[in-house]
Amino acid sequence: MPDRSKAPHIKDAIEYAIELKKPEIFSLDNGVKVYNVNAGTEEVVQIEWIFKAGNWFEKSNNIASATNFLIKNGTTKKSAYEINEYVDFYGAYLNRSCYNETAVVTLHCLSRQLESLLPLVQELFVEAIFPEEELHIFRQNMKQKLEVNLKKCDFVAGRKIDEFLFGAKHPYGVYSEMSDYDALDVAALRQYYATYYQQGHCTIFSAGILPANYATLMNENFGNLPFNQLPIETPEHLIAPAEQKKWNIINDPEGVQGAVRIARPFPTRHHPDFPKVQVLNTLFGGFFGSRLMNNIREDKGYTYGIYSFLVNHIHGGAWMISTEAGRDVCGATVQEVYNEMQALREGDIDPEEILLVKNYLIGTLLGDLDGPFHIIARWKNLVLNGLDDSFFYHSVDTIKNITADELKAMANKYLNPEEFYELVVV
Amino acid sequence: MVKFERFMLDNGLKVLVHTDQSTPMAVVNVLYDVGARDEDEQQTGFAHLFEHLMFGGSVNVPDYDDPLQVAGGENNAYTTNDLTNYYCQLPSENLETAFWLESDRMLSLAFSKKSLDVQRKVVCEEFKEHYINKPYGDVWHIMRELAFKQHPYRWMTIGKELSHVENAQLEDVKRFFFKHYTPCNAILVVAGNVSTEQVRALAEKWFGEIPSGEKYNRSLPVEPEQNEERRMTVHRKVPADAIYKTWHMCSRLDDDYYATDLLTDILGGGASSRLYQSLVKEQQLFTGINCYHFGSLDAGLLAIDGQLVKGVDIKKAEDAIEAELDKIRHSIVDERELQKVQNKTESVMAFEDMSVMNRAGSLAFYELLGDGELMNTEFKKYQDVTVQDLKRIANAVLQPSNSNTLWYLAEN
């Protein structure tokens, strides 16, 4: 019979050497770079076409996201239905997503179907037409979706906290109003498409089991497009944070829960404190074993879950705490968050707790680097942020070596309640 | 092709091992053959509440999460109407830590009063977050009660009402544990950078001594055949009207499951599906519409739900759905359309199998269905579906007399 009172011997995860497999990189004839992680156990592939076409570049609200969404809703040769039917017939997924700096088109398919699908993707970048009727449906559906979302406290809280941090005119703080959808017109979408897609700046990330002729296939389909030829002007946007720090918003007088957001501005990945704060954040509220979760969920039962995280934009970020808590305990929840900040500023962190966090971080990193899609996601992040794998290895070293004193210093530098915005939406 | 080996301990615990040496990690997945369908109707939400309590300390180990995290692991769990599944992933050198933790909580829980008190509150907040404080959050509470009169699928895993969870007592917790959380009612899957010999030795060492328990023999009330259309209308504070329709369908183990699954894809599985193209794009009656099923182990439901464009008459919207159903009942589906959804299924399966964690979970699920090997052979059953099968199933299932319709209307 095993002795159950004693934990089995473990290898500390921090003893693992962690390696971020390098991608292969090749360039198409037009200079577009293609990053590839050719690996995996299943005959599947994922390709992302990343354009400098996020809302950073738009002149009025929602142009970037509408252009991105409707890029597959009709070309000179195919209707939206024909495009969707074609993609579905080959068992593929063609998704698009719009972020602040970038807008992305993503293809997932079985490796053997790639050759049939790439010409269609090319067609989207050359011949999308943005039919009036498709915009009409998009506008109608998005407005209704927004109306539903506005009933949700967490949705409202998410919008408002970004506004407080960055300002309502900044790409990171702006949000959609009904009138923004009404104002969309196809001419503006076509113009945006011409500048930021047809003649835009593109980088490609691919992963999975790639066919042997992959480079040739990609060059045939995308190497002769006028990407990366004309300069793209990157506009300046000034961050304009709110003056008032504490906010209470009533969204649903009969709601049984409130959405709590507590956040402060925080620098980008390029700041020397970033890797250290990543570790501190984990300990504070970044995983299930964090202090916030242990106190506010596991001890008090105020919430189903509470997390803190770093909001990572390319030009500036934030440190945020987020939860939904019972309506009558929202105030108590906010107070407990501040109590935990104080404990980290003033108290000593137990070495066992630090080791737990380090091992957890390294262990999940090992798991996260499992498989080609995860590896390419890391690289995409590095490349888009103007970083390379030295950032990754520096982060790993920081996790392995950070001390209690360094963590405490970070807490004293950043976890000061007066620097946080506090928002409760009930 | 997912290869695995299988053995059983003397106490009845089934063990499956899937080796993948391309990863430094190991996954330990424990599936218990108990879900919300096994609850007393006066104590609903119990299987799920219990899942929370499984993290509140076991008989020899005061805390589950900390030692796992120290070993570089992470974990989670979920409860459905049919089953409860726990899984963790950690560096394979530390595999024994997972055996220690999982076996101790199968041996016995700590049954701490504090843990019960706190988790009751946590689950109540979960209930509020997902089902009360959200527009349309109570739909499936209503629909399940409309569609099921006998079978325990008539309540959701979170429970019928908050009070059931609030009133749970420690004695109930103990009874539930010793009835369901036993080796003979569990399936253990270990996957990743592991060997069968190693897993066998660890399984014998840590799980071997746990008393087998009694095999739980499920005898749930069978839902009587529905013979007339059921309808209901509710008014809520939501911005737009919505319509929900369900029909009774076969169980996950039935031969007709595969054709039924493909039928839902043809009707509502994505941007080229029939309902989306006709009702959202062409007629513009709905802002979104879906067709799906619950894949439940007992006979369950096929569903269509859609949110109406504001101003559209709900009767007109429902008639438009019926017109599409009429089409699929009366005309044969095009071969290309069938091939499309078969291709999509093949692709979904390949993507699902990418991560070791998913492979481990799937193996446990298929073993519960009767044989882990189904994971490798099931696609063949999709390929064998014919256009005639689709028509037959459409006629058998999508009949008004077998349907439940909920009009979920905006107040005012």
pLDDT tens, residue by residue, A277-322 = 999 999 999 999 999 999 999 999 999 999 999 999 999 999 999 9
Beta strands across the sheet bearing B25-32 = B5-8, B14-19, B186-192, B25-32, B84-91, B74-79
- Tell how far CA A277 is from the center of its chain: 18
C-beta of residue B390 within 8 angstroms of C-beta of residue B262:
yes
Quick one: A261 and A378 in the same domain?
yes
Look up the CATH number of the domain holding residue A390.
3.30.830.10
Selection from A275, A291, A399 nearest residue A347 by Cα: A291
Q: What percent of chain B has pLDDT over 70?
A: 100
> Which residues of chain A have a CB within 8 Å of the CB of B20?
41
Contact check, Cβ <8 Å, A91/B205: no
Distances (CA, A) of A74 to A84, A136, A258, B283: 10, 14, 42, 18
pLDDT digits (tens, 9 = 90+) for A103-140: 999 999 999 999 999 999 999 999 999 999 999 999 99
CA distance to partner chain B, nearest, from residue A425 (Å): 12
Residue A241 lies in a domain: no
C-alpha dihedral, A406 to A409 to A415 to A416, nearest 10°:
180
Once rounded to an integer, what is the mean pLDDT over residues A39-49? 93
Quick one: A216 and A253 in the same domain?
no
Contact check, Cβ <8 Å, B126/A304: yes
Q: How many residues does chain B have?
A: 412
Q: Is A291 on the interface with B (CB under 8 A)?
A: no
Quick one: A273 and A204 in the same domain?
no
Using pLDDT thresholds of 50, 70 and 90, give the confidence band for residue B341.
Answer: very high
Residue A19 lies in a domain: no
Residue A388 lies in a domain: yes
Once rounded to an integer, what is the mean pLDDT over residues A69-78? 98
Using pLDDT thresholds of 50, 70 and 90, give the confidence band for residue B364.
Answer: very high
Count Cβ atoms within 10 A of the Cβ of residue A339 and give its class: 0-12 exposed, 13-18 middle, 19 or more buried.
middle
Quick one: A163 and A304 in the same domain?
no
CATH ID of B230-410, from 3.20.20.370, 1.10.10.10, 3.50.50.60, 3.30.830.10: 3.30.830.10
Domain that holds residue A410: 246-425
pLDDT, position A221: 98
Q: Other C-beta atoms within 10 Å of A403: how many?
A: 12
The residues in A 80-99 lying below 8 A from B, measured between CB atoms, are 80-81, 84-85, 87-93
CA distance to partner chain B, nearest, from residue A122 (Å): 20
Domain end position, chosen among A155, A188, A222: A222
Distance CA B211, CA B10 (A): 10
Q: What percent of chain B has pLDDT over 90?
A: 91
Task: Check if CATH label 3.40.50.720 holds for domain B5-207.
Answer: no
Sequence letter at residue B332: I
Helix A132-149 and helix A186-193, axial crossing angle in degrees, nearest 10: 100
Helix B257-268 and helix B335-352, axial crossing angle in degrees, nearest 10: 100
> Which residues of chain A have a CB within 8 Å of the CB of B237?
151
Using pLDDT thresholds of 50, 70 and 90, give the confidence band for residue B128.
Answer: confident
Quick one: A279 and A394 in the same domain?
yes
Residue A309 lies in a domain: yes
pLDDT, position A267: 96
Q: 3-state SS of chain B?
A: CCCCEEEECCCCCEEEEEECCCCCEEEEEEEECCCHHHCCCCCCCHHHHHHHHCCCCECCCCCCHHHHHHCCCEEEEEECCCCEEEEEEEEHHHHHHHHHHHHHHHHCECCCHHHHHHHHHHHHHHHHHHHHCCCCCCHHHHHHHHHCCCCHHHCCCCCCCHHHHHCCCHHHHHHHHHHHCCHHHEEEEEEECCCHHHHHHHHHHHHCCCCCCCCCCCCCCCCCCCCCCEEEEEEECCCCCEEEEEEECCCCCCCCHHHHHHHHHHHHCCCCCHHHHHHHHHCCCEEEEEEEECCCCCCCEEEEEEEECCCCCHHHHHHHHHHHHHHHHHCCCCHHHHHHHHHHHHHHHHHHCCCHHHHHHHHHHHHHHCCCCHHHHHHHHHHCCCHHHHHHHHHHHCCHHHEEEEEEEECC
C-alpha dihedral, B279 to B282 to B287 to B289, nearest 10°:
30
Q: Other C-beta atoms within 10 Å of A27: how many?
A: 13
Mean pLDDT of chain B: 95
C-beta of residue B81 within 8 angstroms of C-beta of residue B157:
yes
Distance CA A91, CA B379 (A): 14
Residue A374 lies in a domain: yes
C-beta of residue A22 within 8 angstroms of C-beta of residue A38:
no
Quick one: A65 and A156 in the same domain?
yes
Contact check, Cβ <8 Å, A252/B99: no
pLDDT, position A255: 87
For tokens 């009694």, name the residue. Answer: B214
Q: Is the dihedral of CA A205, A209, A215, A220 positive or negative?
A: negative
Distance CA B307, CA B277 (A): 15
The mean-pLDDT minimum among A94-98, A349-353, A385-389, B266-270 falls in B266-270
Q: What residue of B is the nearest CA neighbor of A5?
A: B60
Using pLDDT thresholds of 50, 70 and 90, give the confidence band for residue A367.
Answer: confident
- Asked if the model's pLDDT at residue A368 lies above 90, the reply is no
Selection from A306, A264, A279 nearest residue A408 by Cα: A279
pLDDT, position B188: 98
Residue A239 lies in a domain: no
According to DSSP, the residues that pair with B407 across neighbouring strands are B233, B243
Q: Other C-beta atoms within 10 Å of A234: how many?
A: 11
Q: What is the CA radius of gyration of chain B?
A: 23
pLDDT, position A154: 95
- Asked if the model's pLDDT at residue B133 lies above 90, the reply is no
Q: How many residues does chain A have?
A: 426
According to DSSP, the residues that pair with A47 across neighbouring strands are A107, A206
Domain end position, chosen among A222, A255, A277: A222
Q: Is A301 on the interface with B (CB under 8 A)?
A: yes
Using pLDDT thresholds of 50, 70 and 90, give the confidence band for residue B22.
Answer: confident
Residue A238 lies in a domain: no
Q: Is A256 on the interface with B (CB under 8 A)?
A: yes
pLDDT digits (tens, 9 = 90+) for A212-254: 999 999 999 999 999 999 999 999 999 999 999 999 999 988 8
Q: What is the CA radius of gyration of chain A?
A: 24
Q: How far apart are the first and last CA of chain A?
A: 54
Q: Tokens for B101? A: 């933790």
Distance CA A103, CA A125 (A): 13
Count Cβ atoms within 10 A of the Cβ of residue A408 and give its class: 0-12 exposed, 13-18 middle, 19 or more buried.
middle
Count Cβ atoms within 10 A of the Cβ of residue A386 and give its class: 0-12 exposed, 13-18 middle, 19 or more buried.
exposed
Once rounded to an integer, what is the mean pLDDT over residues A356-367? 93
- Asked if the model's pLDDT at residue A13 lies above 90, the reply is no
According to DSSP, the residues that pair with B232 across neighbouring strands are B406
Q: Is A393 on the interface with B (CB under 8 A)?
A: no
pLDDT, position B337: 97
Considering only the beta carbons, identify the residue of A141, A366, A373 that sits closest to B25.
A366
User: Total structural domains in chain A?
Assistant: 2
Mean pLDDT of chain A: 96
Phi and psi torsions of A228, nearest 5° = 60, 25
Quick one: A196 and A159 in the same domain?
yes
Contact check, Cβ <8 Å, B94/A370: no
Q: Domain ranges for chain B, please list them.
A: 5-207, 230-410
- Asked if the model's pLDDT at residue B131 lies above 90, the reply is no
Q: Is A371 on the interface with B (CB under 8 A)?
A: yes
Distance CA A272, CA B65 (A): 31
Contact check, Cβ <8 Å, B69/A360: yes
Quick one: A198 and A250 in the same domain?
no
Q: What residue of B is the nearest CA neighbor of A372?
A: B354
pLDDT, position B72: 93
pLDDT, position B412: 74
> Which residues of chain A have a CB within 8 Å of the CB of B356?
370
Contact check, Cβ <8 Å, B133/A255: yes
Q: Is A15 on the interface with B (CB under 8 A)?
A: no
Q: Which residues are CB-neighbours of A319 under 8 A, at least 6 positions away?
A: A263, A264, A265, A266, A277, A281, A308, A309, A310, A311, A414
Q: What residue of A is the nearest CA neighbor of B97?
A: A8
The residues in A 395-424 lying below 8 A from B, measured between CB atoms, are none
DSSP 8-state class, residue A418? G
Q: Is B41 a catalytic residue?
A: no
Quick one: A218 and A251 in the same domain?
no
Quick one: A197 and A266 in the same domain?
no
Once rounded to an integer, what is the mean pLDDT over residues B180-204? 97
Q: What residue of B is the nearest CA neighbor of A8?
A: B97
Contact check, Cβ <8 Å, A147/B239: yes
DSSP 8-state class, residue A128? B
Q: Tokens for B115? A: 């843990």
| Annotated active-site residue in B39, B51, B318, B324 | B51
Secondary structure (3-state) at A326: strand
Q: ipTM above 0.90?
A: yes
Contact check, Cβ <8 Å, A148/B209: no
Sequence letter at residue B323: A
Q: Is A4 on the interface with B (CB under 8 A)?
A: yes
Using pLDDT thresholds of 50, 70 and 90, give the confidence band for residue B269.
Answer: confident
pLDDT, position B167: 92
pLDDT, position A1: 76
Which string of b and e fits B236-255 if b means at least 16 CB within 10 Å?
eebbbbbbbbbbbbbebeee
pLDDT, position B148: 98
Q: 3-state SS of A338-350?
A: HHHHHHHHHCCCC
Once rounded to an integer, what is the mean pLDDT over residues B370-393? 97
For tokens 């404990």, name the residue. Answer: A343
Q: Tokens for B362? A: 């799937």
pLDDT, position A105: 98
pLDDT digits (tens, 9 = 90+) for B31-74: 999 999 999 999 999 999 999 999 989 999 999 999 999 999 99
Q: How many Cβ pairs within 8 Å bridge chains A and B?
A: 211
Confirm whether B5-207 and B230-410 share one CATH topology: yes
pLDDT, position A340: 98
Distance CA A325, CA A335 (A): 13
> Which residues of chain A have a CB within 8 Å of the CB of B206?
2
Using pLDDT thresholds of 50, 70 and 90, give the confidence band for residue A413.
Answer: very high
